[in-house]
Amino acid sequence: MKIVLIGQAAFGEKVFQSLFQRGEEIVGVFLPPDIPGKPNTFKELAWQSGIAYFQPPRMRAPEVYTEYIKLNPDLNVMAFVTDIIPEKILNFPKLGTIQYHPSLLPRHRGGSSINWAIIQGETKTGLTIFWPDKGIDTGPILLQKEVDIDPDDTVGSLYFNKLFPLGVEALVEGIELIKQGRAPRIAQDESQATYEGLCTDKVAIIDWSCPAAPVYILIRGTNPQPGATATYGGKRFKVFDSKLVEKESGSPGEVVKVDPGGFVVACKEGSILIIKVQPQGQGKIASKDYAEQIHLTPGDRLELI
């Protein structure tokens, strides 16, 4: 069975490794162009393995299809794809195309599915291997795997510790089912479908007048991308690592404690220990260093945006 792999980043690379080590016949890899100054280990791995690779700026470009059909694949495998793949590529292989999505479809269609599962306070999510069509995450389901969202999970921990490794295994399992002729095509239940747009800075603004629990959920659901936004002295900074702590005496937005572990900000109910931040124009730093940088002391107040 000849496979074309379409993917990127560490997930696409790991899927490639797993399929190559299993002896699957990978006839070509499509991945995005290099980012200047950043090594592309996925491309290097394909090259070292003797597999043809292509890096078109857009998969919709006519020349992409011309090169693609020369590979004559039996199956496309999409492993972390953010570009739009033309229907004629999706439908070309005789066995079709399968894709990984990090949610239990039809819930959380869209490009920020992990963020929204956390932000909406859910305790379970998962992944879906499905047969993509012209819609956004709307094709029939091949298989699904469920995982717990732990109380302190962030987008990063949920993805890298759970959905990433399980997703690689699930794609391998799906390919094996296809080879055996046992891969289902289960229609998605549209009555249960949800779609959310990308999780951007616009939805990641902290409101300290809210109870601490939903504030903590927002921070977790935007860590590491895009980061939750707070403001002090008219300047915005992003909050990443944090902890939910017991209520300290103070009004919403007030800094009630500063120590080597970070600084604590009061909410309407409860407080948040802020551990890692990113000031404007800087990289991520420990919040204690940020507090020293801006001379933050107990009694100071973060603005209510």
Q: Quickly list DSSP for 86-116.
A: PHHHHT-STT-EEEEESS-TTTTBSTTHHHH
In angstroms, the Cα distances linking 37 to 33, 34, 40, 41 are: 12, 8, 9, 13
Give the three-state DSSP class for 153: coil
pLDDT tens, residue by residue, 133-147? 999 999 999 999 999
pLDDT in tens, 28-69: 999 999 999 999 999 999 999 999 999 999 999 999 999 999
Interstrand relation of 25-30 and 255-259 (parallel, antiparallel or unpaired): unpaired
Domains, the chain: 2-192 (3.40.50.170), 201-294 (3.10.25.10)
State whether residue 72 is helix, strand or coil: coil
Asked if the model's pLDDT at residue 297 lies above 90, the reply is yes
Closest alpha carbon to 277 in 289, 268, 265, 260: 289
Query: Under a CB-based contact definition with an 8 Å cutoff, are residues 102 and 82 in contact?
Result: no
pLDDT, averaged across the chain: 97
Distances (CA, A) of 144 to 4, 123, 134, 174: 22, 17, 21, 10
182-185 contact pairs (CB < 8 A, 24+)? 183/142, 184/140, 184/141, 184/142, 184/143, 185/131, 185/140, 185/141, 185/142
Q: Which residues contact 99 (CB under 8 A, 6 or more apart)?
A: 77, 78, 81, 129, 130, 131, 132, 139
In this prediction the pTM is 0.96
Helices (H), 72-211: 87-90, 113-119, 155-158, 164-179
Counting beta carbons within 10 angstroms of the beta carbon of residue 243, is it exposed (0 to 12), middle (13 to 18) or buried (19 or more)?
middle
d(CA 175, CA 170): 9
- pLDDT band of 248, cuts 50, 70, 90: confident
Q: State the pLDDT confidence band at 243, using cuts at 50, 70 and 90.
A: very high
pLDDT bin (cut points 50, 70, 90) of residue 246 is confident
pLDDT at position 157 is 98
**256: pLDDT strictly greater than 80:** yes
**Amino acid 125: pLDDT:** 98
